[in-house]
């Protein structure tokens, strides 16, 4: 059953990549790519993210001193049957201080950014999982409609979870990203290979620190001017105040290596979110992000603040 479902997903992803290649404007800058990344945030703070990075994300408890006494089955956490499919829909609204991500003459606006995510994460082996995700996000500005755009991602990869190594999580994925105008005319497409390592550190039952590193290497892009590879280190801190209320803070530092023009950037991003889980499938969030970019081409320097909230629905099956 797993392999049949896997074949269906691969066919769907292939169809998406082959279709819809109508070219639009190519005069967009790398700032469009940055705007999509800032609003999408890190997976650990995105409303409705399909995969949890917690130590029990895949049904395995952390190894402990009593494992030898209780046997191998002590490592398995009792849970309901694993559900590999996830559908998530979220409706965020933000106020952003710098729509165009420019160094001077900043203009603020509000932006509505609905997103839809469908994920299939089959269990391939005991702690090895596949990861197939299709995600679409739309960005509509209140006053500055010329900046409206959409972002689509098709992702295929694997996740390897190592409970015996401090619950280390390793990911390797292919990511196809397509940016279009609000009339669905493509202005940027990127193919990249993404590798990451994430390690959690628990403090009691209600707090967890995650540290990780990520490399996002672009292998092809059209047009080629904004093409770049990102190398990132990040840390995230999670506090569970009650069964329904939690907060997260995530800090990221990125080095961006552009393939043309000799451009190199360094970016910092801080994101703080508060989540209230109304139901297992419904979450209300307050989100704030602060981002800074420094470039050896000063015209690309910027800082931006985004403040807003989100309503998310998540269904697993």
- How many beta carbons lie within 10 A of that of residue 291, not counting itself? 22
Q: What is the pLDDT of residue 63?
A: 40
Bridge partners for 117 per DSSP: 88, 135
| Percent of the chain clearing pLDDT 70 (strictly above) | 78
Domain residue spans in the chain? 2-316
Is 119 in contact with 78 (CB distance < 8 Å)?
Answer: no
Band (pLDDT 50/70/90 cuts) for residue 80 is low
Give the residue-averaged pLDDT of 41-52.
Answer: 36
Fold of 2-316: Porin (2.40.160)
Cβ burial of 40 (10 Å; 0-12, 13-18, 19+) is middle
Structure tokens at 80: 């309901």
Question: Does position 68 have pLDDT exceeding 80, yes or no?
Answer: no
In eight-state DSSP terms, residue 81 is: P
Task: Tell me the pLDDT tens digit for each residue of 188-230.
Answer: 999 999 999 999 999 988 999 999 999 999 999 999 989 999 9
Strand 168-181 to 186-203 pairing: antiparallel
Rounded mean pLDDT, 3-20: 43
| Nearest to 79, CA basis, from 95, 108, 54, 56 | 56
The rounded distance, in Å, linking the Cα atoms of 184 and 191 is 19
């Amino acid at each position: 059953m797993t392999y049949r479902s896997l074949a269906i997903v691969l066919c769907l992803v292939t169809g998406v990549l082959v279709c819809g290649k109508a070219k639009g404007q190519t005069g967009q800058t790398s700032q469009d790519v940055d705007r999509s990344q800032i609003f999408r945030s890190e997976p650990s703070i995105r409303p409705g993210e399909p995969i949890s990075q917690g130590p029990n994300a895949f049904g395995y408890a952390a190894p402990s001193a009593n494992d030898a006494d209780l046997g191998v089955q002590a490592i398995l956490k009792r849970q309901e049957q694993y559900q590999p499919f996830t559908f998530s829909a979220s409706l965020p609204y933000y106020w952003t201080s710098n729509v165009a991500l420019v160094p001077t003459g900043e203009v603020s606006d509000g932006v509505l950014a609905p997103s839809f995510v469908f994920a299939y994460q089959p269990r391939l082996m005991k702690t090895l999982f596949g990861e197939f995700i299709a995600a679409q996000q739309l960005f509509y500005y209140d006053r500055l409609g010329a900046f409206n755009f959409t972002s689509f991602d098709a992702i295929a990869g694997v996740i390897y979870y190592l409970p015996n190594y401090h619950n280390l999580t390793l990911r390797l994925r292919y990511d196809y990203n397509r940016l279009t105008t609000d009339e669905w005319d493509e202005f940027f497409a990127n193919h990249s290979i993404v590798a990451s390592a994430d390690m959690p550190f628990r403090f009691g039952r209600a707090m967890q620190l995650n540290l990780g590193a990520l490399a996002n290497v672009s292998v092809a892009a059209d047009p080629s001017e904004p093409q770049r590879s990102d190398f990132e280190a990040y840390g995230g801190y999670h506090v569970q105040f009650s069964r329904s209320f939690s907060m997260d803070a995530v800090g990221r530092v990125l080095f961006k290596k552009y393939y043309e023009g000799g451009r190199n950037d360094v970016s910092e991003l801080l994101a703080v979110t508060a989540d209230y889980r109304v139901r297992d499938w419904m979450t209300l969030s307050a989100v704030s992000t602060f981002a800074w970019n420094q470039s050896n081409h000063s015209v690309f320097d910027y800082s931006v603040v985004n403040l807003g909230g989100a309503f998310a629905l998540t269904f697993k099956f």
